[in-house]
Amino acid sequence: MNTRSSPQALAHGQPASAATGAAGGECEVLSLTAGIARYEAEWSHLVDSTALNPSLLPGWVRIVATNSGIADHAKLLVQHHGGHVTGVVPYFAQPARILGIPLNKLSLVSNLVSYHADLPCAGSRLNLLKALLRGEPTWQVLQVDNILPDGPTAVALEELCQEMGGRLLTYPVDFAPYLPIAQPFDALLATMDKKFRYKYRKRQESLGDHTGLSMRWFTQPDEVQAFLDAMLAVEARSWKAQQGVAVAAATHEGSYYAKLLPYLATQGDLLANVLFQGDTPVAYNLCCHHGGWVGQLKTAFDISLEQLSPGALVIDGAIRAAFERGAREFDFLGTPGKSAPEPHKLFWTKHVRSHISCFLFAPRPVPRLIAAVKHWRQARA
């Protein structure tokens, strides 16, 4: 956990719809629904042209906001410069309690669900954040989750803290292993040690009529329901069911995937595979393939068949598919709250990204006091 503070101050009275200066361009604030309707194409171009994660695309953000019940009061800050959209911030305001004290909190919609969050911005993220806070003059804390600790949004938050004289607390969130793809799949296998190659070969030999194991792929809109049914069936027989954390149709997470899967398939981004034993699904792996990125969103296997390595088989298949599709990276993603990467995600790679959550406290007595107490408590932990 880190903290930053500075004596300078930032004015908060200017509405976000007003000019922010030549460097920042013009800004406007709309409801999230209206903002997506008006700027979806430009927002999508901004995300893709700056190589940000597809979970920051407007369609994905809409799903997250709708599934979380905030779509009706979420807002979109849109920054314009030279006749083009140069930045967007989907966010929502809500009352919160920190240390039992009520505060007015601003949160990004990406805090709810995202993979490698960032601010979609072709210009200055610092100016974009300034515009956000000017438009919400009663804010007391801004929360930004799941960003890279040395990424442009983290840097902008530190710069903003220095200018405004607030206090910035940062906390580690997760560690996300990833596999860069810069050679053919067989060439990658050749770099692995003998034990790894043996286990991989034995797993592949287990596929076939003699075991009853077969792999099926799901990528098209008319295949979504079949995959979702298989996914939920596997989840109900996984270790997660024993722990009470399995995805089910009636859960918040189940509702999220029921909305997300048709969207991914329609976009051409769905890459999912299921391992069957006969007609029974025993493992699945759900990935998003967008541009050069393949991200593993969810996976599980039937715990009663653990000796057959069904979970490893579906991951093997997904990784190979990423190579065959010409992807640049297979991203295993992180598990929130874990202080180290999960061991099974390091079988294929040693490359790891870390993420942090940031809390920017306003330069006012109560927020600054809360930040000081939280920093003191964390330092003593």
Token pair, residue 106, equals 């601003």
Closest among 147, 10, 126, 9 to 79, alpha carbons compared: 126
Name the CA dihedral angle for 295, 297, 302, 305, rounded to a multiple of 10 degrees: 20
The predicted pLDDT at position 24 comes to 55
Identity of residue 37: A
Q: Which residue has the higher pLDDT, 373 or 20?
A: 373
Render pLDDT for 194-218 as a digit per residue (tens, 0 to 9). Answer: 999 999 999 999 997 778 999 999 9
| CATH number for the domain running over 183-327 | 3.40.630.30
What distance in Å separates the CA atoms of residue 207 and residue 236, rounded to the nearest whole number? Answer: 23
Strands 84-98 and 293-301: unpaired
Query: From residue 28, how far is each of 83, 143, 219 by CA, in Å?
Result: 13, 21, 38
Same fold, 2-170+357-380 and 183-327: yes
Query: From residue 294, how far is each of 99, 139, 303, 315, 328 by CA, in Å?
Result: 40, 37, 26, 12, 8
Token pair, residue 244, equals 């009470």
Residue 151 DSSP code: S
Render pLDDT for 25-69 as a digit per residue (tens, 0 to 9). Answer: 799 999 999 999 999 999 999 999 999 999 999 999 999 999 999
Token pair, residue 41, equals 């194409």
Render pLDDT for 112-149 as a digit per residue (tens, 0 to 9). Answer: 999 999 999 999 999 999 999 999 999 999 999 999 99
264 with 328: CB under 8 angstroms?
A: no
* Phi and psi angles of residue 184, each rounded to the nearest 5 degrees, phi first: -60, 155
Token pair, residue 9, equals 């101050």
| CATH number for the domain running over 2-170+357-380 | 3.40.630.30
What distance in Å separates the CA atoms of residue 142 and residue 370, rounded to the nearest whole number? Answer: 13
Residue 275 has pLDDT above 70, yes or no: yes
3-state secondary structure of 301: strand
281 with 331: CB under 8 angstroms?
A: no
Residue 134 DSSP code: H
What are the residue ranges spanned by the domains of the chain?
Answer: 2-170+357-380, 183-327
